Structures are given as C-alpha cells and as structure tokens.
Structure 1
Amino acid sequence: VAAHPGEVCPAKWKEGEATLAPSLDLVGKI
C-alpha cells in the first residue's frame, strides 16, 4: 500500500478502476 498510495485510492483512480483489482490481489498475497 505504501509503495502504491495512488493505486489504492479509488477516489483518485476513478478512470482506472481496473488498477484497483490487481492492487487488492497483491494486498491479499502480502
């Protein structure tokens, strides 16, 4: 999360919601 603060910000990544999917997947693996 600290490495990708922008990717975990849905409010900032409204256009790139797809970026949230892989981010959550990485968080689950970590």
Structure 2
Amino acid sequence: MFLVSWEQVGKYIGMVRLSIFCLCTSLFSHTC
C-alpha cells in the first residue's frame, strides 16, 4: 500500500498524456 498525493498523481498522468501525445505526433502525424 502506498501513499501518494493527488498532486503527484496529477503530474504523473499529465506526463504520461504528454509523452503519448508527443509520440503520436512525432510518429503518426499524418494520422493524428
């Protein structure tokens, strides 16, 4: 059981979404 603050969770989700977005735009810019 680990204790994480909602701020850390929000930052993590933001980083994941940003990395997916960058990956999508860099590799599949013609489809995204």
Give TM class, smaller chain: 0.3 to 0.5
Q: Answer with 1 or 2: which has the greater Rg.
A: 2
Provide the TM-score with structure 1 as the length reference.
0.43
Using CA pairs under 8 Å that are at least 6 residues apart, name the structure with larger relative contact order, 1 or 2. 1
